[in-house]
Amino acid sequence: MGTLRIRADRRLVAGLLNLLVLCHLTPMVFSVSVRAQETSTTVGRPPQRLPDTRRPLDRARLGAAGLQVLESRRLLLVTDVPLKQVQGIPEAVDALFDQLQQKLGVLAADASGKEFQVTGYLMDAPERFQEAGLLPDEEFVIRHGRHLGYEFWMNNQATDYYRRHLLFHEFVHCFLMCEHGMRDIPPLWYTEGVAEYFATHTVNPLQFGILPSGETGFEGWGRITELRKTALLTDATEPVTLESILQPKSREFTSELRYAQAWGLVWLLRTHPQLRPTFGELSRVRTRREFDTVLQRLTPELTVRLKIVWLLLLDSLEEGYEVSHAFPELDPKWQIRDDTSDTSVQIRVSADKGWQASGLFFSKPLDITLSGSGRCAVHDQPQRWEAEAQGITLDYAHDRPLGELTAALVSRDGRSVVRRIPVGRGCTLSVEANTELWLQVNDSDASRSGNSGGFDVQIELKAGGRNE
């Protein structure tokens, strides 16, 4: 009896918490999720999903109120937008469901054998939905989209792409929350990041969890633009370091930057070949405790490496980023350099790769000189150019000559990066303590695969180093 009673209490708590909704793009989100986490005592995959408590719809009454109903196996869509704006969306949601089952794990069954289906309310004029009694209570503020149990509500969006994107985003939340409700959920950067990851899609072919190839066809998305815009501001009001995502100072999760960071980090963990083995199990995670178990693999050493890869990614991520050529290596081999080290090192920098570790880590402040020699071929479209280390001024990338030998100094605490220092044929740099030297041939990381060759880079520690 005791066990039964505990179970009953847990179900009651679950039901109540399920009413305390996770909202999307509202400050209420975090207080709700934190309360949910504190109250939770249950961990692990339940044998059954939460009951589907959606009310039956009176379609004739909805029709009279100017609302149309479209239905597929996984989505019941109630809307007042022109039908051409929602063409194909219910079928696309069916495909998304299959993809989520494959990538995030098969959902627990419903106790009554009911199929998983979600009702979405896509609204041009919310008052119509209000009058039809389809909105939740007044305190349930819907700025863009929100979900609750097996339902979500969203305002119509200005672009076809972002209308679908936001709808998919809310559907992913419903999928992930239908087993535990709002109990014990992972941190918001992760739950929002996963929803953003799978919502990012192409229609032809229908694919989810992709990296946009350009801005056309992804109107209204703008996550990369947001990340790069903020990363390049030295006086950014919100920090862009990995730490600021994993341990945010503010509980508010409303800004475009927060959503962009959440997407970017989940995308990185799911895509970088050296991170996937460590974080692949995040895919199966539903609860905070499961999440924390996987995140324990983020050792202090790995955290440092991830912080640096994150900063370098912010510098170079763009639509069409070629992951097989452009990702910085997670943990290259480093030689510690100080004022007693050998004074000369030669390394090779390839044109077909993004940021490459020089292998040199400076534990003390030093002056170093770099000089580049050799030739490489860059940019096979629209034309193939031959470049020496000073680059060519026939074409530009990142506002500098294409093919120019370029350096970045990254602090090992992952807090700062001195970006894109033009090296060319040669230059002298003052390097602060605890700094890694990274190099690349200047080009877009969306067009590395056509490049070949590279530069030999001679690095000299200046005699006597710096007096600090």
Give me the residues that bind Zn ion (CB under 5 A), please.
Answer: 24, 192, 195
Q: Which residues contact 127 (CB under 8 A, 6 or more apart)?
A: none
Q: How far is the CB of 321 from Zn ion (least distance, A)?
A: 24
C-alpha–C-alpha distance, residues 57 and 384, integer Å: 61
Q: Which is nearer to Zn ion, 97 or 455 (CB)?
A: 97
Residue found under tokens 């530069």: 455
Sequence-separated (6 or more) residues with CB below 8 Å from residue 362: 337, 338, 368, 431, 432, 433, 434, 435, 436, 437
Residue 425: CA atoms inside 13 Å, Cβ hemisphere, count?
2
CA atoms within 13 A on the CB side of 333: 1
CA atoms within 13 A on the CB side of 399: 3
Nearer to Zn ion, 253 or 327 (CB): 253
- One-letter amino acid for residue 224 of the chain: I
Residue 394's contacts (CB-CB under 8 Å, 6 or more residues apart) are: 385, 402
| Beta carbon nearer to Zn ion, 163 or 420 | 163
Interatomic CA distance for residues 166 and 96, integer angstroms? 13
Nearer to Zn ion, 169 or 183 (CB): 169
CB 51 → Zn ion: shortest distance, Å? 23
Query: Shortest Cβ distance from residue 151 to Zn ion (Å)?
Result: 14
Residue number, nearest CB to Zn ion = 24
Cβ of residue 24: shortest distance to Zn ion, in angstroms?
A: 4
Cβ 462 to Zn ion, closest distance in Å? Answer: 52
Looking at the Cβ atoms of 269 and 389, the one nearer to Zn ion is 269
- Give the separation between CA 129 and CA 135, rounded to whole angstroms: 6
Rg (CA), the chain: 26
DSSP 9-23: HHHHHHHHHHHSPPB
CB of 357 to Zn ion, least distance (A): 36
| Residue 458: alpha-carbon gap to chain centroid | 37
Please identify, using beta-carbon distances, which residue of 195 and 257 lies nearer to Zn ion.
195
Give the residue among 172, 184, 191 at the shortest CA–CA distance from 263: 191
Min dist. Cβ of residue 256 to Zn ion (A): 13
Give me the least distance between CB of 333 and Zn ion, in Å please. Answer: 40
State the nearest-atom distance from the C-beta of 148 to Zn ion, in Å.
12
- C-alpha distances (whole Å) from 15 to each of 154, 285, 458 are 23, 21, 66
* Residue closer to Zn ion (CB basis): 26 or 278: 26
Locate the DSSP E strands across 341-399.
344-350, 356-362, 366-373, 376-378, 385-387, 390-397
- The residue behind tokens 């693999």 is 297
Query: Alpha carbon of 279 to those of 92, 131, 191, 276: distances in Å?
Result: 28, 46, 15, 5
Q: CB 291 → Zn ion: shortest distance, Å?
A: 16
- For residue 433, CA distances in Å to 337, 344, 406 come to 10, 19, 20
The values of phi and psi at residue 446, to 5°, are: -100, 0
CA angle centred on 338, ends 335 and 340, rounded to 5°: 110
Closest approach of Zn ion to the CB of residue 147, in Å: 8
Q: What is d(CA 180, CA 45) in angstroms, rounded to the nearest whole number?
A: 8
Nearer to Zn ion, 89 or 167 (CB): 167
Which residue, 195 or 461, has its beta carbon nearer to Zn ion? 195
Comparison of 288 and 337: residue with beta carbon closer to Zn ion? 288
The answer to whether the CB of 176 falls within 8 A of the CB of 143 is: no
154 vs 461, beta carbon nearer Zn ion: 154
Pick the closer one to Zn ion by CB: 24 or 288.
24
Closest contact distance (angstroms) between CB of 143 and Zn ion is 11
